Amino acid sequence: DKEKYKLFWNGQKTAKNGVGIIVRESLAQEVLDIKRINSRLMWIKLRIEKQTMIIFSAHSPQTGESEEIENDFWAAFSDTISTIPKSETILIGVDLNGHVG
């Protein structure tokens, strides 16, 4: 049998500046919450057996973007992380260099 997966996506249809989280289809029903902050930041809350965790996906601005865009990204990243209770387990997947490939 081939594994099936579900994509939780946040971004534009052009696939520019989007982020996503892929989970095995059998775990998709265990997603308790989805928070789409902007086209560069999102997280899902996932329950696996008795543990709940936040899986966070982020894509930083590309090299050469304005300082304002970079500052906005880091402010949103920091603000979002700070709202998650310290008791939660957080897994962060992030592209910090802003390049694809």
Per-residue pLDDT of the chain (101 residues; tens, 9 = 90+): 788 999 998 877 765 667 889 999 999 999 999 999 988 899 999 999 888 999 999 888 887 889 998 899 999 999 999 998 888 899 998 776 655 54
What integer pLDDT is reported at residue 63 of this predicted model? 79
E strands present in 11-98: 19-24, 31-38, 41-48, 51-59, 89-95
What are the extents of the domains in the chain?
Answer: 5-95
What integer pLDDT is reported at residue 97 of this predicted model? 63
In one-letter notation, the amino acid at residue 59 is: H
CATH superfamily of 5-95: Endonuclease/exonuclease/phosphatase (3.60.10.10)
pTM of this structure = 0.79
What integer pLDDT is reported at residue 15 of this predicted model? 58
d(CA 54, CA 70): 24
